[in-house]
Amino acid sequence: MVRVAVIDRETCKPNKCQKECISFCPVNLTGGKAIEINPDTKKPIIYEEVCIGCNICVRKCPFKAISIVNLPEEFSKNVIHRYGVNGFKLHGIFTPRKGQILGLLGKNGTGKTTLLRILSGELRPNLGNVEREITWEEILEYFRGTEVYNYLSQIANKQIKVAHKIQYIDIIPRKIHGTVRELLQKADERGIWRDIVRDLGLEKILDRKLSMLSGGELQKFIIAVVLSKNTNAYFFDEPCSYLDVRERIRVARIIREYTSSNNFVVVVEHDIAILDYISDNVVVLYGEPGVYGIVSKPYSVRTGINNFLRGFLPAENMRIRDEPITYTLTLMREKLLPLKHYLGWSKLLVELDGFKLRVEDGEVREGEVIGIIGPNGIGKTTFVRTLAGEIKPKEGYIEKKQAKLEVSYKPQRISPEYFGEEKTVEELLAMINKEVLHSGSWLHREIVVKFGISKLLDRQISELSGGELQKIAIAATLSKEADIYLLDEPSAYLDVEERLVVAKTIKRLTEMRASAAILVEHDIALLDYISDRLIVFTGDPAVEGYALKPRSLSSAMNIFLEQLGITIRKDPETGRPRINKEDSYLDRLQKRINKYYYIPSPTDKE
């Protein structure tokens, strides 16, 4: 076995815990030295070759900063990169292929961004050696005779030029200044900036400064900049963040249209319907987030995503999850029994800052999850805020079906200030519901354990990343005893697995508490997984929106997809939704029979 010991340097606070990890180490107590304080960093170092893997230091650390994992011996021979002593370790690498779009799928913290940085030449792999800088000659010698050798050789000799769309785009307006038009003209190396502007729908923002763009507009601008570069390789790290379904489809089409058979293209994406739609092959990354990541062999896109959902990779003979993730194959999801009505609304007119929203009447029933889908700027958040009581409708009324109706609401945008005065995660959850912190309770198991936030309990809210803050906001919302849970874009910043864990928890809580949930979401696969009914929003973004009545999943999806001009089929093995390639046999068939959301028969061609 190979032992991997990782210490989170930010979380570790040895001066506040009396160095318990060292005091209780059985190797140290018997005269050995498995763990000690580094005199330079003043933080602990674990010597993996000496450590016996007893995990006493893991249990004793009050800040949960230590992780120790045992891996099979063969992984020790395939270390590609390590971030310092007791830092994250990446095992394995793949070879991009010309003319094919390769998708990366896996949990956050398992090395997807690290892989992109290595393949783009931004990060030189150290092969696990953290004591000195490894030369390109040594790296190429290590990979000699392997498939990736030729690619890395070209990277080392600067024969491959890479355009890389980074994951965190919020930092770009702080470093680059100017209007969209000026910056696109300056970046354009292919003479196509006007075509990309037209195809991405950026005409209305050409004269805006970068600092004035919304998240979705900024995302599309950066994709336009990357595609306008005359390079050999294009890498996209989460290109669909901040975008609605229509824009995600558009971006996927444009990435494929503006790259050629001579280009290497790699895409990291957590929306599995979009990843399936855009990719030719898929590589799965698995492991322990923040501790180690392992790169699988390339799979065909359907096989790779299905294997990921099943939790078993046959080519590696590796189980990556205890339970498979399964969708239902039926489209008849609406509850059939008469259930208690919690909340209803008449026809509504809501006006806000010049925007008008008209809503058809509807109701929310006990035990159901209602999904909300539609373009950005069409009034989805306005509707949720109206139901939550934050906005008063100009016409119509919200009717509570019982005298005391408790509502728990997670807004779209979360910042540390949203939670009030500075506090730790544990203090926040204790204020809402102490039961969630009791290790024996079902609520603790469903939220703290399954969300993976036990390591965050001692952290200050202000120290959390975007994904961590999102999980805490969802945990806080679901911890509250309520009749209705309103969640606005809960999947933002979360990876595929985290999204489905959150969806499963929401379903369980609504059933166990006999409550209901309303979800605003852009991830079609997530909405398919969780929704009993859907509300479709249409209209003119930022001008006027229209919300239809809550409808069955199949009926609402059919309306929505017909507006987009795309068709979706359900995978016969996993039940997950798959977007049909434009003008494919199934795309033409489903449009002809007016079944835009469809379960194909075994005789239908893929």
Separation in Å, CA 70 to CA 3, 48, 74, 573? 5, 10, 12, 33
Whether 156 contacts 139, CB under 8 Å: yes
Section 139-151 average pLDDT = 94
Q: What is the pTM of this model?
A: 0.88
- Residue ranges of alpha helices (H) inside 212-244 are 215-227
E strand or H helix at 6, and its extent?
A: strand 2-7
The secondary structure element, H or E, covering residue 402 is: none
**Core vs surface per residue 389-426: b (16+ CB within 10 A) or e:** eebebeebebeeeeeeeebbbbbeebeeeebeeebebb
For the domain 340-406+483-495+514-552, what is the CATH code?
A: 3.40.50.300
Q: 537 and 373 in contact (C-beta within 8 Å)?
A: yes
Residue 246: its H or E element: helix 245-257
DSSP class of residue 549 equals: P
Would you put residue 443 in left (φ > 0), alpha (ψ -120 to 50) or beta?
alpha
On the question of pLDDT at 539 being above 90, the answer is yes
Residue type, 133: E
Q: Where are the alpha helices (DSSP H) in 286-424?
A: 301-310, 380-387
Instruction: Give the CA angle between residues 434, 435, 441 to the nearest 5°.
Output: 155
Task: Please report, as a single letter, which amino acid is at residue 124.
Answer: R
Among 200, 252, 195, CA closest to 222: 200
Most confidently modeled range among 60-64, 281-285, 389-393, 407-411:
281-285
pLDDT band at 603 (very low <50, low <70, confident <90, very high): low
Q: How buried is 594 (Cβ within 10 angstroms: 0-12 exposed, 13-18 middle, 19+ buried)? A: exposed
Burial of 602 (0-12, 13-18, 19+ CB in 10 A): exposed
- Same fold for the domain at 2-77 and the one at 340-406+483-495+514-552? no
CB 592 within 8 A of CB 583: no
Both tokens of residue 534? 């859907």
Comparison of pLDDT for 496 and 599, the residue scoring more:
496
Helix axes 245-257, 215-227, angle to 10 degrees: 10
**Do 45 and 68 contact (CB within 8 A), yes or no?**
no
Q: What is the distance between the terminal CA atoms of the chain, rounded to a whole angstrom?
A: 43
Give me 97's structure tokens: 């292929």
Q: Taking a C-beta distance cutoff of 8 angstroms, is the pair 53, 62 a contact? A: no
What is the C-alpha to C-alpha distance for residues 558 and 252, in angstroms, rounded to an integer? 21
CA nearest neighbour of 221 among 233, 204, 246, 245: 204
**Average pLDDT of span 526-531:** 91
The percent of residues in the chain predicted with pLDDT above 90, rounded, is 60
Which of the four pLDDT bands, split at 50, 70 and 90, describes residue 102?
very high
Q: Quick one: tokens of 69?
A: 């994992």
Residues 265-289, mean pLDDT to the nearest whole number: 95
- What tokens appear for 240 in the block? 């669909």
How many CB atoms neighbour CB 233 within 10 A? 23
Q: Which of 348, 429, 353 is nearest to 394 (CA)?
A: 348
22-44 pLDDT, tens digit per residue, is 989 999 999 899 999 988 888 89
Which two three-digit tokens encode residue 315? 């080519």
* Structure-token match 């009791």, residue found: 438
φ, ψ (nearest 5 deg) of residue 446: -70, -35
Span 89-319: which CATH code?
Answer: 3.40.50.300
The burial class, CB within 10 Å (0-12 / 13-18 / 19+), for 85 is middle
Alpha-helical runs (H) found in 311-405? 380-387
What is the arithmetic mean of pLDDT over 290-302? 94
**Four-CA torsion 508, 511, 515, 521, nearest 10 degrees:** 50
Closest CA to 552 of 526, 527, 534, 576: 534
Taking a C-beta distance cutoff of 8 angstroms, is the pair 88, 80 a contact? no
pLDDT of 296 strictly over 80: yes
What is the dotted CATH code of the domain comprising 2-77?
3.30.70.20
Beta sheet of 362-365, edge-to-edge order = 362-365, 341-345, 398-400
pLDDT at 552 over 70: yes
Structure tokens, 409: 């609401």
Across 316-337, average pLDDT: 74
Return mean pLDDT, the chain: 90
> In sequence order, which residues have a C-beta less than 8 Å from that of residue 33 and are 6 or more positions away?
27, 47, 50
Contacts of 184 (CB under 8 A, 6+ apart): 193, 196, 197, 206, 221, 224, 225, 228
Domain boundaries, the chain: 2-77, 89-319, 340-406+483-495+514-552, 416-481, 565-599
What's the pLDDT at 334? 53
CA-atom Rg of the chain in angstroms: 25
Q: Is the Cβ–Cβ distance between 531 and 553 less than 8 Å?
A: yes
Residue 337: pLDDT band with limits 50, 70, 90: very low
